[in-house]
Amino acid sequence: MTLRSIVMSASLSATLLLSLFVVAGFLGALHPAFDSFAHFRVHFSAMMALAALPLLLSSWRAHGFMALLLAVGATLTAVGLPSLGIGPAHAAFETRPVLARSYSLLHLNLRYNHAHPERVLDLLEQNTPDFVFLNEVSEMWNAKLRGMQNLYPFQLRCGGDTRVGGTAILSRHAFSAGRLTECAGSGSIAMAQVELDGTALDLVSMHLGWPWPFDQPRQIGLLTEKLASLGPQAIVAGDLNAVPWSNAVRRVVAAGSLSAMRSPGPTWLFGWLPTGWRQWIGLPIDHIFKKGDIAFFAGGALPDVGSDHLPLFAEFGLPESDGEPEDRTITVWAR
């Protein structure tokens, strides 16, 4: 067997195997095992495209072209082509009216054993968002957050049942008496409510476990009732350990009647890999959602602060009330 035939056989086998992985990712609604493939759709597609290149120089060129076509099509369903309506649905950013009041939020998976927590605390002190949604709030982080009560006097910290910790919501605005603050799902979800400009706003910090064969599918089922109980206006943010095009995220969106903010791209990468690789091989598993007539004015990712996740931020506005408009507020994010 010649080297050329070995290369062609390897390329053919690789494209066939990777095409099965790609197609399986579209069947997540049938079984969560298939959805686990969806999270790596872009990675599998890129590898399949590379594996197909040698086939273009052989009698298998038709197979190579088909593999390239599948790779491109599958990638577009993930990264999106908005002009053609292709890709995960998301809420568009809106232009902020001149006199509209805006609010700011920040979401971050803290990393339970963060080696330099002061980097996160500096980020909060520099930007002072109105609301902070946190995941992996371990005992170490609980102590740090208690020390920020002068900046965030209203805090809901939900302990988890593992060393990784739970979820938390920090607020510069008082929690409402109309809805009790609540922890659920063994600390995987924290729920509170504030009243802004006469409008009740539900806040949810959420952290899901890993996909099948781990506990994520069952966890979503258990939290469905909580998400369905959200009021007319709500903000949900969290590390879902699931990408925007997965069935897992679709289940969360359907349960809460939510709309996603446009993903800023990969937000997570294994901590032992160089952070510069995140934009190339990382996964976009951190999300911000809204419910109701809330408008997103801006949003995206902030620079790395030492966690294996990037912080996400958003500026948003509530539906106009019948009263006089508030003074204009402008938020500038320190990068």
Check whether residue 72 and residue 135 sit in a common domain.
no
Check whether residue 127 and residue 56 sit in a common domain.
no
Residue 92 lies in a domain: no
Mean pLDDT score of the chain, rounded to an integer? 92
| DSSP 8-state secondary structure symbol assigned to residue 186 | T
Domain-ending residue, one of 25, 53, 84 = 84
For the chain, what percent of residues have pLDDT higher than 90? 81
Check whether residue 130 and residue 11 sit in a common domain.
no
What type of residue is 20? L
pLDDT (0 to 100) of residue 4: 81
- Mean pLDDT across the stretch 133-160? 96
Check whether residue 162 and residue 74 sit in a common domain.
no
Check whether residue 150 and residue 272 sit in a common domain.
yes
pLDDT beyond 80 at 301 = yes
Residue 89 lies in a domain: no
**At 213, which CATH number?**
3.60.10.10
pLDDT band at 3 (very low <50, low <70, confident <90, very high): confident
Preceding peptide of 213 cis, ω within 30°: yes
Check whether residue 112 and residue 149 sit in a common domain.
yes
Cβ-contact 190, 220 below 8 angstroms: no
pLDDT beyond 70 at 82 = no
**Angle formed by the axes of helices 41-52 and 3-24, to 10°?**
160
Containing structural domain, residue 233? 103-317
pLDDT (0 to 100) of residue 331: 40
pLDDT beyond 90 at 219 = yes
pLDDT band at 100 (very low <50, low <70, confident <90, very high): confident
Query: What are the helix (H) ranges across the chain?
Result: 3-24, 32-38, 41-52, 61-79, 118-127, 139-146, 216-228, 247-256, 278-281
pLDDT beyond 80 at 174 = yes
pLDDT band at 38 (very low <50, low <70, confident <90, very high): very high
Check whether residue 58 and residue 110 sit in a common domain.
no
pLDDT beyond 80 at 323 = no
Q: How many separate domains does the chain show?
A: 2
Cβ-contact 290, 107 below 8 angstroms: no
Handedness of CA 40, 41, 42, 46 (dihedral sign): positive
CA angle in degrees (0–180, nearest 5) for 246-219-28: 25
Cβ-contact 204, 190 below 8 angstroms: yes
Check whether residue 253 and residue 108 sit in a common domain.
yes
Domain-ending residue, one of 55, 84, 113 = 84
Check whether residue 118 and residue 221 sit in a common domain.
yes
pLDDT band at 1 (very low <50, low <70, confident <90, very high): confident
Check whether residue 175 and residue 37 sit in a common domain.
no
Domain-ending residue, one of 84, 117, 138 = 84
Check whether residue 175 and residue 283 sit in a common domain.
yes
User: How far from chain centre, in Å, is Cα 294?
Assistant: 18
pLDDT (0 to 100) of residue 271: 87
pLDDT beyond 70 at 105 = yes
CB neighbours of 212 closer than 8 A, spacing ≥ 6? 31, 32, 33, 35, 36
Check whether residue 252 and residue 180 sit in a common domain.
yes
